[in-house]
């Protein structure tokens, strides 16, 4: 759809060091690049928390570049299910999900959809 942009988010987690990284990329309806961000996470409790941080950063980026109608894709089913449930979580990332839910309300439309890992390569890089 021409009036939507797609936000792909992804993260990685190293259980041995308790560190991670996350990234996000936004593309228009033709797949053309709009913006991207990434960061190292010096301490994170688990992989879903790193994924939630990636979502948070992606939503901030989408707001900064002026997106209005977004489809958010992640290969982490927990992120998608949590956000489709209103951001309600009792896990370690509960505060991050709450903030993501708040950020999502700034868009006219924000749809959350799971995508397979192979379709999330741009965010993974």
pLDDT, tens digit, 9 for 90 and up, residues 73-98: 999 999 999 999 999 999 999 999 99
pLDDT (tens digit per residue) in 9-27: 999 999 999 999 999 999 9
Please give the pLDDT value at position 1: 59
pLDDT tens, residue by residue, 20-76: 999 999 999 999 999 999 999 999 999 999 999 999 999 999 999 999 999 999 999
67 vs 60: CA distance, rounded Å: 10
Question: How many domains, the chain?
Answer: 1
* Model pTM score: 0.92
- Its domain, for residue 101, covers 5-124
Q: What CATH number has the domain bearing residue 23?
A: 3.30.420.10
Calpha distance 26→67 (Å, rounded): 9
The Cα–Cα gap between 24 and 44 comes to 18
């Amino acid at each position: 759809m021409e009036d939507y942009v797609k936000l792909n988010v992804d993260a990685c987690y190293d259980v041995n060091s308790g560190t991670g990284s996350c990234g996000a990329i936004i593309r228009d309806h033709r797949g053309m690049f709009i913006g991207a961000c990434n960061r190292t996470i010096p301490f994170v409790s688990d992989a879903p928390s790193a994924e939630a941080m990636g979502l948070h950063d992606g939503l901030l980026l989408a707001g900064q570049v002026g997106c209005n109608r977004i489809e958010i894709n992640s290969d982490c089913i927990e992120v998608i299910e949590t956000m489709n449930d209103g951001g309600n979580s009792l896990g370690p990332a509960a505060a991050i999900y709450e903030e993501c839910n708040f950020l999502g309300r700034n868009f006219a439309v924000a749809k959350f959809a799971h995508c397979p890992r192979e379709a999330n390569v741009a965010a993974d890089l």
